C-alpha cells in the first residue's frame, strides 16, 4: 500500500552513474563524509520514510481543518510525526550551515540529499509541506537580512522551533504577481504595518511550531504598480516582547481550502492586518527588490516540486511492477486461439511491457535531470570551497539554473502521465481507494500548477534562461552533451541510440535558432506558442541523455563478470534506453516540425471562434 523505493537503483544512481565516491566525496566541503556514512544515512532515511508513509493515507482521509477557535487542526498522527521528524531529521537540510560559520561538521553531497528528499517526499508529500520553506527562509534571511533580522529569526528557524511559508498569491494575482495588492505602511526603521490577503498558502497555519514566519510579497504604500516595485516582508505570526512574552501579530486564517489532493496539507487563506496591526520587517531594509531577493528561494522550490513529482512516479512504477508480476490474465497474443494455452502474468503482455518501459525510462530520465542539478551544485560547492576557478564555478551555476524550470515542468508533467499509466496497468484495482495510485494522482496534479504554472516555467526557460537563444549557457550545455556523444565509438551496440540523442539535441538547437530569428524580427507573440513544446523537447533530450548514460555504464559492466542479478539489472538498463530512443525521442523531431510549421492558424483564433452556445 505504501511508498516503494528501489535500493539497487539508488546505489546505481550514486555510485555508478554519478560516481560520487570518485568525483565528490573526500573533497572539501564533503571531506568528512565517506561512502559508508552515505549508506548509513540512506538506510536511516528509508526506515523513516516507512514511518512517514504509514501516516500518508490517514492525512488524506482526515484533512487539515479550520476549527471554530480560528486554529487549524492538522491530520491525526502529524503532530507525533513532526516531533520525530524534527528530532531526527531537522539537521539535514542545515548541515554545514551554522549561523556563524559556513563549513562545520559532516556535510553530505547534494545527490545524497536528493535521494533522501525523494524518499521523504514520496512517502508523505502532505506532511513534508509543513515547514517546507524553513531552510530557504533561514538562508534568505541570513544572506539578505539586516543584522537585527538575522538575530531575531535565524536562530529559531535553524532549530525549527519556528517554521516558514511563502506568501505571494492573491485572488487577482496568480501567475501575474505584479497585480498584488498587499500593502505596507512604514512604522519605524525596517518595520511596516502589513495589510492584505494571501490565498492558497501551503501549510500556512498550524500549531506544530511555536511560531510561523511568512515571507510576504507586497508593495510599500505609494509604490508604482510594476513587478519592479515589489518588496519582501518577514512577517511573524507572533511577536515577542523583551520579557519573552508572546504577542499576537494579527495574522488570521480565514479558510482552509477543500482541495483535490495533498489534503493533509493545510492550504490556507490568510489575512494580515484585518484584526489589528500586523508588523512585518522589510527584508534587508531594501524596498522594491523582492523578485531579486527571492530568486534563489523560488529556484529551490521549483527543484523541490520536480522531486515530489519524481518520487510519486517512481513509487507508482514500482507498484505497477509488483502488480504486473502477480496478476495473471489471458494468454499471449499469438496463443489467443488456443484454449489450453498458458495464462500468463500480465507483465508478459507486450502492451504492459510498453507501459512499464515508458514509466521506467521516464522515471530514470527525470531522476537524472535532478541528479545533474545536484551534481552541478556539489561541484560548485567544491570549487567555491577550494577558492578555485571562479569562471568554472559560474559555469556550473549557469547549468544548474538552466535545468531548474525543466526539472519543475517536465518532471511534473511526466509524473502525471506515469501515474496514469500505473493506474492503467492495475486495471480496475488501480481506480480503487485500496491502492495508493488514486491518491498519487490527486496529490501530484498541483505540481504542474504551483510555483509558477508549467507555462510560466517554459516562458522562463525560453526568455530568461536562454535569452531567446542568445545566452551563453547553451554553449556550456552543448559542450557537456557533445563530450558524452563523443564516447559513442566505445559502444557499437548503442550506435543507433547515440545517433538518435545527437539528432534530437540538434533539433533542440535548431528550434532555439528559429526562436532567435523570430525574436530578432520582434515576433514575440508567435514565440509564446512554442515555449511549452520547446520545454518538452528539452526535457526529453535531457531525460534521454540520462538513460543513455546509464545504458553505456551498464554496457561496460556487462563486458565483465557480474552476478546473474546484476546481469538482469544492467541488461534492463540497455533495454530501457533502447525503448526511450525508439519510442520517446522521435517526439523531439516531431515537435520541432510542428514549431517550424509556417502556418500560424494554430493560434490565430478569437475567443468567440472557440464556440459554445449554452
Q: Is 512 exposed, middle or buried (0-12, 13-18, 19+ CB in 10 A)?
A: buried
Q: Does 300 participate in binding ligand FAD (rule CB under 6 A)?
A: no
- In whole angstroms, how close is the CB of 417 to ligand FAD at the nearest point? 17
* Window 234 to 263, contacts with ligand FAD (CB under 6 A): 259, 262
Q: Does 169 participate in binding ligand FAD (rule CB under 6 A)?
A: yes
Strands 211-220 and 246-248: unpaired
- Rounded Cα distance between 85 and 373, Å, is 26
- Rounded Cα distance between 50 and 29, Å, is 30
Binds ligand FAD (CB under 6 A): choice among 223, 449, 488, 553: 449
For 560, residues 6+ apart whose C-beta sits below 8 A from its C-beta are none
Mark the segment that binds ligand FAD (CB under 6 A) among 166-174, 320-328, 338-346, 481-489: 166-174
- Rounded Cα distance between 72 and 258, Å, is 13
Give the three cell numbers for residue 363.
Answer: 522515471
* Window 179 to 238, contacts with ligand FAD (CB under 6 A): 200-202
Give the three cell numbers for residue 91.
Answer: 539537521
Site track for ligand FAD across 25-64, x = CB under 6 A: ----------------------------------------
For 545, residues 6+ apart whose C-beta sits below 8 A from its C-beta are 368, 481, 484, 501
Strand partners, 202: 267
| Alpha-carbon distance values, 505 to 22, 74, 478 (Å) | 28, 47, 9
Strands 65-66 and 72-73: antiparallel
- Rounded Cα distance between 102 and 576, Å, is 41
Binds ligand FAD (CB under 6 A): choice among 175, 227, 275, 329: 175
Give the 3-state secondary structure of residue 193: strand
Mark the segment that binds ligand FAD (CB under 6 A) among 111-119, 414-422, 447-455, 573-581: 447-455
Q: Does 446 participate in binding ligand FAD (rule CB under 6 A)?
A: yes
Contact 75, 68 (CB under 8 A): no
Mark the segment that binds ligand FAD (CB under 6 A) among 152-160, 382-390, 445-453, 576-584: 445-453
For 204, residues 6+ apart whose C-beta sits below 8 A from its C-beta are 165, 167, 198, 212, 214, 253, 266, 267, 268, 270
- In whole angstroms, how close is the CB of 404 to ligand FAD at the nearest point? 16
Q: Does 403 participate in binding ligand FAD (rule CB under 6 A)?
A: no
Binds ligand FAD (CB under 6 A): choice among 53, 126, 231, 267: 267
- Rounded Cα distance between 442 and 431, Å, is 12
Q: Does 440 participate in binding ligand FAD (rule CB under 6 A)?
A: no
Q: Does 529 participate in binding ligand FAD (rule CB under 6 A)?
A: no
Binds ligand FAD (CB under 6 A): choice among 10, 116, 128, 168: 168
- In whole angstroms, how close is the CB of 201 to ligand FAD at the nearest point? 5
253-283: b (≥16 Cβ within 10 Å) or e: beebbeeebbbbbbbbbbbbbeeeebbbbbb
Q: Does 384 participate in binding ligand FAD (rule CB under 6 A)?
A: no
Nearer to ligand FAD, 94 or 455 (CB): 455
Binds ligand FAD (CB under 6 A): choice among 455, 484, 491, 514: 455
- How many helices and strands, by DSSP H and E, does the chain display? 23, 12
Nearer to ligand FAD, 311 or 456 (CB): 456
Q: Does 505 participate in binding ligand FAD (rule CB under 6 A)?
A: no
Q: Does 450 participate in binding ligand FAD (rule CB under 6 A)?
A: yes
Q: Does 462 participate in binding ligand FAD (rule CB under 6 A)?
A: no
Q: Does 162 participate in binding ligand FAD (rule CB under 6 A)?
A: no
- In whole angstroms, how close is the CB of 366 to ligand FAD at the nearest point? 21
Mark the segment that binds ligand FAD (CB under 6 A) among 37-45, 240-248, 335-343, 446-454: 446-454
Q: Which residues bind ligand FAD (CB under 6 A)?
A: 165-169, 174-175, 200-202, 259, 262, 267, 446, 449-450, 452-453, 455-456
Amino acid at each position: 500500500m505504501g511508498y516503494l523505493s528501489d535500493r539497487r537503483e539508488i546505489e546505481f544512481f550514486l555510485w555508478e552513474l554519478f560516481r560520487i565516491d570518485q568525483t565528490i566525496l573526500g573533497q572539501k566541503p564533503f571531506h568528512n563524509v565517506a561512502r559508508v556514512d552515505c549508506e548509513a544515512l540512506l538506510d536511516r532515511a528509508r526506515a523513516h520514510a516507512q514511518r512517514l508513509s504509514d501516516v500518508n493515507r490517514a492525512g488524506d482521509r482526515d484533512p487539515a481543518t479550520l476549527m471554530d477557535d480560528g486554529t487549524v487542526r492538522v491530520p491525526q498522527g502529524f503532530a507525533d510525526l513532526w516531533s520525530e521528524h524534527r528530532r531526527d531529521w531537522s539537521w539535514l537540510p542545515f548541515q554545514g550551515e551554522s549561523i556563524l560559520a559556513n563549513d562545520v561538521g559532516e556535510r553530505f553531497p547534494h545527490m545524497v540529499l536528493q535521494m533522501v528528499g525523494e524518499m521523504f517526499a514520496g512517502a508523505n508529500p502532505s506532511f513534508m509541506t509543513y515547514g517546507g520553506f524553513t531552510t530557504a527562509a533561514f538562508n534568505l534571511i541570513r544572506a539578505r537580512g539586516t543584522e537585527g533580522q538575522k538575530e531575531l529569526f535565524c536562530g529559531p528557524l535553524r532549530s525549527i522551533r519556528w517554521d516558514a511559508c511563502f506568501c505571494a498569491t492573491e485572488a487577482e494575482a496568480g501567475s501575474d504577481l505584479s497585480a498584488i495588492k498587499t500593502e505596507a505602511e512604514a512604522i519605524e526603521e525596517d518595520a511596516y504595518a502589513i495589510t492584505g490577503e494571501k490565498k492558497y498558502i501551503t501549510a500556512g497555519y498550524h500549531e506544530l511550531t511555536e511560531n510561523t514566519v511568512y515571507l510576504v510579497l507586497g508593495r510599500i504604500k505609494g509604490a508604482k504598480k510594476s513587478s519592479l516595485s515589489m518588496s519582501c516582508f518577514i512577517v511573524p505570526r507572533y511577536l515577542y516582547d523583551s520579557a519573552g512574552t508572546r504577542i499576537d501579530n494579527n495574522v488570521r486564517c480565514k479558510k482552509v481550502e477543500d482541495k483535490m489532493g495533498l489534503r493533509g496539507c493545510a492550504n490556507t487563506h490568510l489575512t494580515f492586518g484585518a484584526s489589528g496591526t500586523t508588523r512585518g520587517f522589510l527584508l534587508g531594509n531594501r524596498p522594491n527588490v523582492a523578485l531579486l531577493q527571492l530568486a534563489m528561494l523560488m529556484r529551490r522550490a521549483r527543484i523541490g516540486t520536480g522531486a515530489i513529482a519524481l518520487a510519486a512516479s517512481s513509487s507508482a512504477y514500482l507498484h505497477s511492477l509488483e502488480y504486473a508480476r502477480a496478476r495473471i490474465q489471458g494468454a499471449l497474443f499469438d496463443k489467443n486461439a488456443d484454449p489450453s494455452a498458458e495464462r500468463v502474468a500480465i507483465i508478459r503482455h507486450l502492451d504492459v511491457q510498453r507501459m512499464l518501459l515508458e514509466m521506467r525510462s521516464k522515471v530514470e530520465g527525470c531522476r537524472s535531470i535532478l541528479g545533474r542539478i545536484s551534481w552541478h551544485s556539489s561541484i560548485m560547492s567544491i570549487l567555491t570551497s577550494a577558492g578555485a576557478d571562479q569562471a568554472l564555478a559560474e559555469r556550473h551555476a549557469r547549468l544548474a539554473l538552466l535545468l531548474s524550470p525543466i526539472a519543475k515542468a517536465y518532471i511534473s508533467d511526466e509524473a502525471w502521465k506515469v501515474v496514469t499509466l500505473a493506474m492503467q496497468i492495475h486495471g480496475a484495482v488501480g481506480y480503487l481507494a485500496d491502492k495508493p495510485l488514486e491518491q498519487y494522482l490527486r496529490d501530484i496534479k498541483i505540481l504542474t500548477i504551483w510555483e509558477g504554472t508549467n507555462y510560466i516555467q517554459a516562458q522562463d526557460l525560453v526568455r530568461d534562461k536562454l535569452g531567446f537563444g542568445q545566452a551563453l549557457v547553451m554553449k556550456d550545455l552543448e559542450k557537456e552533451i557533445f563530450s558524452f556523444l563523443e564516447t559513442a565509438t566505445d559502444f557499437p551496440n548503442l550506435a543507433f541510440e547515440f545517433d538518435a540523442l545527437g539528432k534530437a539535441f540538434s533539433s533542440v538547437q535548431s528550434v532555439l535558432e528559429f526562436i532567435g530569428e523570430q525574436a530578432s524580427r520582434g515576433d514575440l507573440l508567435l514565440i509564446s506558442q512554442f515555449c511549452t513544446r520547446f520545454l518538452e523537447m528539452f526535457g526529453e533530450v535531457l531525460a534521454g541523455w540520462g538513460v543513455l548514460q546509464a545504458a553505456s555504464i551498464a554496457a561496460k559492466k556487462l563486458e565483465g563478470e557480474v552476478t546473474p542479478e546484476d546481469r538482469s539489472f544492467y541488461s534492463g538498463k540497455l533495454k530501457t534506453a533502447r525503448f526511450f530512443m525508439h519510442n520517446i525521442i522521435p517526439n523531439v523531431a516531431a515537435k520541432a516540425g510542428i514549431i517550424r510549421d509556417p502556418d500560424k492558424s494554430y493560434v490565430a483564433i478569437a475567443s468567440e471562434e472557440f464556440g459554445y452556445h449554452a
